[in-house]
Amino acid sequence: MKRVSITTSVFVAAALLVAGCTPGGSDGDSGSSDPKTFEFWSFTGINQKADVETYTKAHPDINVKLTEVGSTTETAQALTAALAGGKVPDLVLIQGDDLPKFMQSPENFVDLTTLGADRMKGDYLDWVMKQSTTGDGRIVGIPTDVGGMAVAYRTDLFKAAGLPTDRDEVSRLWPNWDAFADVGKRYVQATGKPFLDNTPTSVFFQAVNQGTERYYDADRNLSYDKNPQVKAAFDLTLKIFATGISGKQASFSTGWTAGMSKGDFAVVSAPAWMLNNIRTNAPGTAGKWDIATIPGGSGNWGGSYLAIPKRAKNPTAAWSYIAEMQSPAGQLTNFLMKGNLPTTPSVYTDPQLVGRAEPFFSNAPIGKIYTQSVVNIKPFYIGPDDATIGSELLNTLTSVEQGKVAPDKAWDTALTNVKNALRG
């Protein structure tokens, strides 16, 4: 799961860093001293409270003190401050692109093989598990989900525009991103309204995650500025923006949330974890959405890991939560409840997943759609600065949509912003 900060808001985390403290206290102690209580840090926007309620209902003697710190960036920054000497939680959720930074210092975390992860590691997709495993076999985090890609679209708005509404027909409309843009132009011509919420997240973050390499090469060297796949995804985004199909509503902004309910745009690129955002932000649109294949057919955007800081007071209680909630059965339950795609391939053929028809999305077979988008992908290396690089590239494209950066200056501006961020 992942929530993108389009223009990163770091006020909360910055205050924590300046004060030398973290959510939960300013002393050097860690976690909770009560063996039946553990402190859990998560990021916002993913309804982590529902998971905690599921667990505590099954274990009424356990008290989980959940803190939703902020965005994924803010949560990672708060954790960094805590690991430097503040009060650490017993359990923390780390977004996948932020994990490599923490993997540079695995000694800051409990080696989960000491708690039983060595017996569980075979339950997960190999390429996902490798990201949280050190060269010498220590496991820092257990994966919670992957972000298989798809497109959510409004059937009522498609019908009004004279476009097909059947999900298979819609999927055939856009075998690639150029065809997707052509459909968007047809929609705008028919309705006079934007087709897409925005291009930075709904085009760039999809296309750049469909390549065989991203911001690092196969030898783990930074390559964002010379990788033709990154440049192609960036240029594609500018090209599609120039067609006039974007609603210019930055993901997770107030305008984006309101526009989703009002029908201000007809299409949102929707990795599996996005479905819960749509349900939560636009409850009145139930039955008006459907799910089609992403242009290009496959890819992954997102995914998170649960980790236990080394100074946690209740690592055993935190591990019990991980072992139960992130088991194949636990991830299947989470999928059925929220739509987060499991990282445990043993459930990909489970009748409950395969047969899952999501009423909110016109009974779309989301289990089939999303598993097909991840089972054949070729994973790329994610490095310690991936989150920073991705944010700067995306933020520059957002500035283009807002008229703050000229399209012909965008790539050079983005590279400058990335280099400044990496130096900072």
pLDDT number for residue 31: 52
Query: Which of 359, 377, 407 is a domain's end point?
Result: 359
CB 268 within 8 A of CB 154: no
Element (H, E) at 43: none
User: What's the pLDDT tens digit per position in 183-197?
Assistant: 999 999 999 999 999
CA 48 to chain centroid, in Å, comes to: 14
CB 232 within 8 A of CB 123: no
pLDDT number for residue 48: 92
Q: How many domains does the chain have?
A: 2
User: In the chain, which residues have pLDDT < 70?
Assistant: 1-33
pLDDT number for residue 5: 41
pLDDT number for residue 15: 31
Contacts of 355 (CB under 8 A, 6+ apart): 365, 367
Cα(384)–Cα(365) distance, integer angstroms: 35
- Same domain for 105 and 136: yes
- Same domain for 236 and 140: no
Cα(26)–Cα(22) distance, integer angstroms: 6
Q: Give domain status of residue 280, yes or no.
A: no
* Residue 402 CB coordination number (10 Å): 11
Q: Give domain status of residue 69, yes or no.
A: yes
Q: Give me the DSSP letters along 135-204.
A: TTS-B-EEEEEEEE--EEEEHHHHHHTT---SHHHHHHH-SSHHHHHHHHHHHHHHHSS-SBS-HIIIII
- Same domain for 120 and 85: yes
Q: Give domain status of residue 321, yes or no.
A: yes
- Same domain for 393 and 317: no
- Same domain for 31 and 85: yes
b/e 378-400 (16+ beta carbons within 10 angstroms → b)? eebbbbbbbbbbbbbbbbbbbbb
- Same domain for 239 and 167: yes
pLDDT number for residue 310: 96
Q: Give domain status of residue 283, yes or no.
A: no
- Same domain for 171 and 138: no
pLDDT number for residue 376: 72
Q: What is the CATH number of the domain that holds 96?
A: 3.40.190.10
Residue 134, domain extent = 11-146+303-359
Query: Which of 314, 344, 359 is a domain's end point?
Result: 359
pLDDT number for residue 273: 86
Sign of the Cα pseudo-torsion (331, 336, 338, 342, in order): positive
CB 200 within 8 A of CB 405: no
- Same domain for 15 and 132: yes
User: What angle is formed at CA 398 by the lines to CA 413 and CA 285, rounded to 5 degrees?
Assistant: 165
* Residue 168 CB coordination number (10 Å): 9
- Same domain for 257 and 178: yes
User: What's the pLDDT tens digit per position in 202-239?
Assistant: 999 999 999 889 999 989 999 999 999 999 999 999 99
- Same domain for 42 and 178: no
Cα(52)–Cα(65) distance, integer angstroms: 9
Q: Give domain status of residue 231, yes or no.
A: yes
Q: Give domain status of residue 264, yes or no.
A: yes
pLDDT number for residue 301: 84
Tell me the backbone φ, ψ of residue 242, rounded to 5 degrees. Answer: -65, -20
State the amino acid at position 115 in one-letter form.
L
b/e 187-198 (16+ beta carbons within 10 angstroms → b)? bbeebebbbbbb
pLDDT number for residue 10: 31
Q: Give domain status of residue 290, yes or no.
A: no
pLDDT number for residue 323: 97
Three-state secondary structure call for residue 349? coil
Q: Which residue has the tokens 């999927």?
A: 171
- Same domain for 188 and 114: no
- Same domain for 155 and 142: no
Query: Which of 359, 374, 399 is a domain's end point?
Result: 359
pLDDT number for residue 33: 62
Q: Give domain status of residue 190, yes or no.
A: yes
